[in-house]
Amino acid sequence: MVHLKFGVVGAGHIGKRHMEMIRRNPAFQLTAFADIRSRSECGVDETVPHYDSIERMLDAHEELDVVCICTPNGFHAEQSILAIKSDCHVVIEKPMALNRQDGEDILHTALSRGKQVFCVMQNRYSPPSIWLKDLISSDALGKIHMVQVQCYWNRDDRYYGKIPWKGKLDLDGGTLFTQFSHFIDLMYWVFGDIHRIQSRFVDFNHNNTTEFEDSGLVSFEFVKHNALGTFNFSTSVAHKNFESSVTIIAEKGTIKVGGQYMNEVEYCDVLDYTMPELPPSNPANDYGHYKGSAANHGYIFENIEATLIGDGQITTNALEGLKVVDIIERMYAAGERPLKKR
């Protein structure tokens, strides 16, 4: 029996992943989708009604329960608010918005209408992330001294040539929003909020492809742990992605979770602790698209079902999505960005 009717806005790679998750669940129905491109350009079959704007989709389908926002980052806030005002819950791909004010507007609109906002932070569901969260929460490491996050990827003409909105300040927002917000979310989820931020940003080799930095060094302190932290990133790595990792130096031991997507425990030396065997992580290609067809998005949609038609509780709500936007905004405000026009 169908319990929830979904509309999807944006039929790119991520939008199609949302469609797949909806189709897999017998309690869900993919009712309509919206994209400014033609149906044939989107590659979506004719059984799903197509509209060239979210407004037309919402006007034609008052029965929608949930709308998935899978469009360029700069449209997330406006389109989410339109959906909520049409009495729909929303599922927003990262980032929730490109500034705190827009995120707050989404939150306040949802509260006024009694609607849920599901912020997609699917990397929280990877086995190393869950293990690290539990380990830190259990105080097994004792006092945390230092946390170093490093995200070193390749984004070159092969990437920006295929996706024209990426690299534009108003639609993309910047490297921290588009490439690395998942890792900022994981850092916040595991260690809490940060303050005393200092940042430096550089654009090494994206002068012709982006309107902002490709690399940065950010230092700070964690409010809860009084620990030192750094977040170092670059999309100027030659040829292919190198790593996304977090290293923790603590009173009782040292941990490193690495791999290309923080999907491997590379080092664990903790006093009186035996490393458990973790389930395998979903593999991904060099641009972060998970090759396992369900990937971790399946957990997001399980949570949507449990929250809206079961007895579950939302896992990544509007407040948490807003916090990631807030941290990124403060990181950028703490340094001078090399902004330019293409």
pLDDT digits (tens, 9 = 90+) for 266-286: 999 999 999 999 998 765 555
135 with 256, same domain: the answer is yes
222 with 83, same domain: the answer is no
Residue 69 has pLDDT above 80, yes or no: yes
pLDDT at 295: 64
CA angle 135, 139, 144 (to 5 degrees): 95
Per DSSP, 206 falls in state: -
The amino acid at residue 290 is Y
Q: Are strands 89-92 and 117-119 parallel, antiparallel or unpaired?
A: parallel
- CB-CB neighbours of 25 under 10 Å: 18
> Is residue 195 included in any domain, yes or no?
yes
Q: Number of structural domains, the chain?
A: 2
Residue 292 pLDDT class (50, 70, 90 cuts): very low
What CATH number is attached to the domain comprising 98?
A: 3.40.50.720
300 with 185, same domain: the answer is no
166 with 18, same domain: the answer is no
Residue 43 pLDDT class (50, 70, 90 cuts): very high
Distance from first CA to last CA of the chain, Å, rounded?
Answer: 50
25 with 115, same domain: the answer is yes
pLDDT at 284: 57
Tens digits of per-residue pLDDT, 87-142? 999 999 999 999 999 999 999 999 999 999 999 999 999 999 999 999 999 999 99
What CATH number is attached to the domain comprising 262?
A: 3.30.360.10
pLDDT at 286: 53
Tens digits of per-residue pLDDT, 320-336? 999 999 999 999 999 99
Residue 1 has pLDDT above 80, yes or no: no
Report residue 309 as tokens: 């038609």
pLDDT at 310: 87
> Is residue 339 included in any domain, yes or no?
no
Q: Are 313 and 188 contacting, i.e. CB atoms less than 8 angstroms apart? A: no
97 with 144, same domain: the answer is no
Domain enclosing residue 38, as ranges: 4-122+294-315
| Separation of alpha carbons 311 and 250, rounded Å | 38
pLDDT at 162: 87
251 with 311, same domain: the answer is no
145 with 204, same domain: the answer is yes
167 with 266, same domain: the answer is yes
**H or E segment to which residue 333 belongs:** helix 318-333
Per DSSP, 281 falls in state: P
Q: Are strands 264-270 and 253-258 parallel, antiparallel or unpaired?
A: antiparallel
pLDDT at 203: 97
Q: Are 278 and 131 contacting, i.e. CB atoms less than 8 angstroms apart? A: yes
The amino acid at residue 202 is V
Tens digits of per-residue pLDDT, 140-182? 999 999 999 999 999 998 899 888 899 999 999 999 999 999 9
When the pLDDT of each residue in the chain is averaged and rounded to a whole number, the result is 94
18 with 117, same domain: the answer is yes
Residue 287 has pLDDT above 50, yes or no: no
